[in-house]
Amino acid sequence: TDDFFKNVVSHAKEYGFVFPSSEIYDGLSAVYDYGQLGSELKNNLKQYWWKAMVQLHENIVGIDAAIFMHPTTWKASGHVDGFNDPMIDNKDSKKRYRADQLIEDKIARYETDGKTEKAQQLQADLNAALNDDDLPRLKTIIEEHNIVCPVSGTKNWTEVRQFNLMFSTQMGASAEGADTVYLRPETAQGIFVNFLNVQKSGRMKVPFGIAQIGKAFRNEVIARQFIMRMREFEQMELQFFVRPGTELEWYSKWKETRLKWHLALGGDTAKYRYHDHVKLAHYANAAVDIEYEFPFGFKEVEGIHSRTDFDLIQHQKFSGKKLQYFDPEINQNYVPYVIETSIGLDRLFLTVLCNSFEEQDLSTEDKKDSRSVLHFHPALAPVKAAILPLTKKDGLPDKAREILNRLKIDYNVQYDEKDSIGKRYRRQDAIGTPFCITVDYQSLEDDTVTLRHRDSMEQERVAAVDLEKIISDLVGW
């Protein structure tokens, strides 16, 4: 599985999906760029989410709030005081770690060594210490379990300290009077502060939702597993405003709806599960993660929280503005309760890569053969079809370009005339193109082409005029 993940990561780079940021300068830790195919895939994922959430729900609208927000926003939300990770430094290697993650790694090692009871005991200790925000206790656990620095191999640790994950910068041209502003660590607050603007201008009636896709920034203490934990990432969030008392009903509904959405992407059902939170965040009265089984284990991809009226009440308090809704059905004013669904777009992207990637053995008795293929759902595929003239002469390229020029109006398509047709098929398989359209001599006579399917590698003869319809039937949801 280690090799599988390594292959996914190198495939993503080799074919233009994901590059390390500023790679010519040796990269920037936990920051990545999406390449020519990655940005197409990412856009398709955004569209799929936006369509499912905004377009298909009469009572959900989308916004695009700024990344910078008034600094008081983050006092009200609790991020200035509470958005911390427990951090510890090794004095010899000068490396910084998350104390809880060092302990988690030890638990995993106990487990692989078959020391199940020890692992469970340590997990319980860790949970208790995190629950109580007991930093000295974390240090004691690290010492008691002989946890050493992975780099220096020593136990020469500093105290455990809280480390705030928000990035800050200065706004304003002159140093004096300049205000500290933050790069938002989540998109949710941009929705809460616009609650009344949207409700009034859109004449929205509770229950209704506000959706948003946008960048978020967290100064993660440690970054690992490729685009799993980044310092700059993208979130797709829905805040759904409901009448108090109905929130748990809506919570169950969204919990179910969101899992169905993930499964419709075409992944293996067994790789998804719910993880109900036992320890709830201070603002929540119910919370669950949708987890996906990555090659390195089950990890959160999406969080669904019943956030009560915590955020709106906080913003009411800090802004002095009433954030209430008059409900004509019950003739009452109230601060709505909120159900949040929050998904990391980059993590979703990684689930899709892991779900789709295959090194397929195609060997026969006489010949060894294999191919790399990305089995994307056709709707997600960055390139929908490749148009390939069998040869570079006799008018075949012209005929192929004629088809290309028609299809490119509706679809992202590619033209390729270099190398043998077999090689060209393999290149398209490797980037997940669901269809190859081959133009040959017969095409010039009867206007038919060969349609080759990525997954089955089967070929059929179809009329060129039917191509739009055939593709549109298969790339829809």
Enter the DSSP assignment of 336: P
Q: Does residue number 291 form part of the binding site for ligand ATP (CB under 6 A)?
A: no
Q: According to the annotation, is 14 in a ligand binding site?
A: no
Query: In terms of DSSP bridges, do strands 325-327 and 357-361 run parallel, antiparallel, or are they unpaired?
Result: unpaired
Our CB check for ligand ATP shows the closer of 226 and 241 to be: 226
Question: Token digits for 476?
Answer: 């829809």
Q: Does residue number 98 form part of the binding site for ligand ATP (CB under 6 A)?
A: no
- Smallest distance from ligand ATP to CB 178, Å: 28
- Stretch (H or E) spanning 351: helix 345-356
446 burial level (CB within 10 Å; 0-12, 13-18, 19+): exposed
> Quick one: how many helices (H) and strands (E) in the chain?
16, 23
Piece of the chain touching ligand ATP by CB under 6 A; list 198-206, 250-258, 297-305, 375-383: 297-305
DSSP string covering 207-276: SEEEEEEEEEE---SS--TGGGS-SEEEEEEEEEEE-TT-HHHHHHHHHHHHHHHHHTTT--GGGEEEEE
Q: According to the annotation, is 24 in a ligand binding site?
A: no
Q: According to the annotation, is 347 in a ligand binding site?
A: yes
Q: Which residues pair with 327 in a beta bridge?
A: 332
- Smallest distance from ligand ATP to CB 309, Å: 19
- Smallest distance from ligand ATP to CB 476, Å: 27
Q: According to the annotation, is 233 in a ligand binding site?
A: yes
Our CB check for ligand ATP shows the closer of 309 and 346 to be: 346
**Rounded Cα distance, 3 and 255, in Å:** 33
Q: Which of 126, 129, 204, 230 binds ligand ATP (CB under 6 A)?
A: 230
Q: Which of residues 393-422 bind ligand ATP (CB under 6 A)?
A: none
Enter the DSSP assignment of 90: B
Q: Which of 89, 105, 134, 300 binds ligand ATP (CB under 6 A)?
A: 300
Q: According to the annotation, is 89 in a ligand binding site?
A: no
Q: Which of residues 359-398 bind ligand ATP (CB under 6 A)?
A: none
SS (H, E, C) 383-410: CCEEEEECCCCCCHHHHHHHHHHHHCCC
Count interface residues toward ligand ATP (CB under 6 A): 16
Cα 7-42-271 angle, rounded to 5 deg:
55
How many CB atoms are located within 10 Å of the residue 255 CB? 19
Q: Using CB under 6 A as the criterion, what x/- string covers residues 161-200 for binding ligand ATP?
A: -------------------------x--------------
Q: Does residue number 85 form part of the binding site for ligand ATP (CB under 6 A)?
A: no
Q: According to the annotation, is 82 in a ligand binding site?
A: no
Q: Which of 233, 250, 254, 283 binds ligand ATP (CB under 6 A)?
A: 233
Our CB check for ligand ATP shows the closer of 226 and 425 to be: 226
Chain residues that interact with ligand ATP, rule: CB under 6 A = 186, 218, 220, 229-230, 233, 235, 300-303, 342-344, 346-347
